[in-house]
């Protein structure tokens, strides 16, 4: 590439990475606010989380457009092309993470705020792990930090254990007091959404690891839980 | 592009489309076999569905590699580039559809085969709609058929209604006989997985529509259900 093309490419890849970082920030806030809305039974905040998801969709579309234009105009090779494709893929995953947060927020309405079940107390701690994974994997993406990516992949085990505990606890509650079934079912889905957020953060971490090292990360194969939340 | 480059590109885009079609076929079979394993409580078949999912992952990786190589070597422009990016995106969605089928198969083990709940009878019909959507959207993708894509998008409403009915029915069962809670919970997740398969097929249908017409499909906006499966 001639010099001014290189500069244009650098500016475009910088823009792509910026858009992905912005998406990551929005996804983090979405998870946090969805859980806040849940614990405070704040239907207004829940509505905001749902409405704000459109911004994530729009940003993903912007990443797509810019990535395609960059490839078409600059015809980047090797590492540079991988960089563009990575932005395309990572933005797709973050958009999905936003969908899970939106799904959690949508369930706030179905929980009437009075009939609480005890295991709900575990949800914020579980959400914090998921949110931390999203934050750190975006940092790892920004700085191509393979070690941090591996750390995120490992943390997914912790999240899976949390999910399994919560799942069992909710089932026990439902059996002991059938009046909690409606609420507990919503919490089951919420917990499952958080577990899926962790899975997607792990997917991104694996992409970051691959981009940084050129090798596939084998860390995930050693995970004890891959039952799809079956327990 | 010079003539031999055009031919090489045509052969590569043909290969990409072939890989995506193969993935679609595998995803369809995965859904069908997962439901068969569920209704016949066939743990062996369930295991096969789980094991076969690795092939979908491998095919997606192959599509990624070939797409990146095609872009790098042929520097396709405009429509051709959109074609390559579409293959990249569609293969990602099919891989996720395969994951949902795998998740259904994994739950077969947790259902002990004896304690059945009545609403399970609705699952095969629901699965058939989901599977049909996957099949037809892949046909629409193969033939760039915008009308068929719209038809798939419309069918998603039917699937959502099915899901809502099943959801309510399972909740009623759990409340009336708490001994069914464990089984019914698994079925809730299975129904949710089928509903998500429909959502993903709809995503692909929207991409197909866009690729065929250059316009965004507004059909989905008219859907009555977008509650994330709350009811």
Is A137 inside a domain boundary? yes
For chain A, the domain total comes to 1
The two tokens of residue A33 are 């606010």
Is residue A226 over pLDDT 70? no
Q: Is B88's CB within 8 Å of A88's CB?
A: yes
Instruction: Say whether B50 sits in a helix, a strand or coil.
Output: helix
Domain of residue B89: give its range. 3-222
Nearest CA to B189 out of A114, A111, A116, A171 is that of A171
Q: Decide: A159 and A133 in contact? Cβ < 8 Å.
A: yes
| Predicted local confidence at residue B1, as pLDDT | 52
Length of chain B: 231
Is B39 inside a domain boundary? yes
Instruction: Say whether A226 sits in a helix, a strand or coil.
Output: coil
Q: Is A68's CB within 8 Å of B85's CB?
A: yes
Is A228 inside a domain boundary? no
Residue with tokens 């046909």: B139
Is B43 inside a domain boundary? yes
pLDDT band at A106; cut points 50, 70, 90: very high
| Predicted local confidence at residue B178, as pLDDT | 87
CATH at residue B145: 1.20.58.220
Is A196 inside a domain boundary? yes
Is B228 inside a domain boundary? no
Q: Is B81's CB within 8 Å of A72's CB?
A: yes
Is B84 inside a domain boundary? yes
Identify the top-confidence range among A76-80, A212-216, B177-181: B177-181
By CA distance, what is A188's nearest residue in B? B185
Is B231 inside a domain boundary? no
Q: What is the ipTM of this complex?
A: 0.73
Residue to mutate among B69, B181, B186, with most A CBs inside 10 A, is B181
């Amino acid at each position: 590439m001639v010099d001014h093309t290189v500069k244009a490419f650098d500016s475009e890849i910088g823009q792509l990475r910026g858009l992905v970082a912005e998406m990551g920030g929005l996804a983090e806030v979405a998870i946090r606010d969805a859980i806040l809305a849940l614990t405070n039974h704040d239907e207004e905040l829940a509505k905001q989380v749902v409405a704000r998801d459109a911004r994530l969709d729009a940003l993903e579309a912007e990443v797509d457009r810019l990535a395609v234009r960059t490839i078409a105009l600059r015809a980047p090779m090797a590492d540079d092309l991988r960089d563009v494709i990575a932005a395309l893929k990572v933005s797709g995953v973050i958009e999905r993470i936003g969908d899970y947060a939106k799904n959690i927020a949508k369930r706030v309405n179905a929980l009437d705020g009075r009939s609480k079940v005890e295991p709900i107390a575990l949800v914020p701690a579980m959400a914090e792990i998921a949110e931390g994974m999203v934050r750190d994997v975006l940092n790892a993406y920004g700085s191509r930090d393979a070690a941090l990516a591996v750390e995120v992949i490992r943390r997914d085990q912790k999240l899976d254990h949390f999910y399994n505990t919560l799942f069992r606890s909710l089932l026990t509650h439902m059996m002991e007091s059938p009046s909690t079934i409606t609420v507990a079912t919503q919490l089951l889905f919420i917990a499952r959404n958080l577990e899926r957020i962790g899975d997607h953060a792990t997917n991104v971490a694996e992409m970051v690891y691959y981009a940084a090292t050129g090798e596939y990360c084998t860390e995930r194969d050693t995970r004890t839980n891959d039952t799809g939340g079956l327990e």
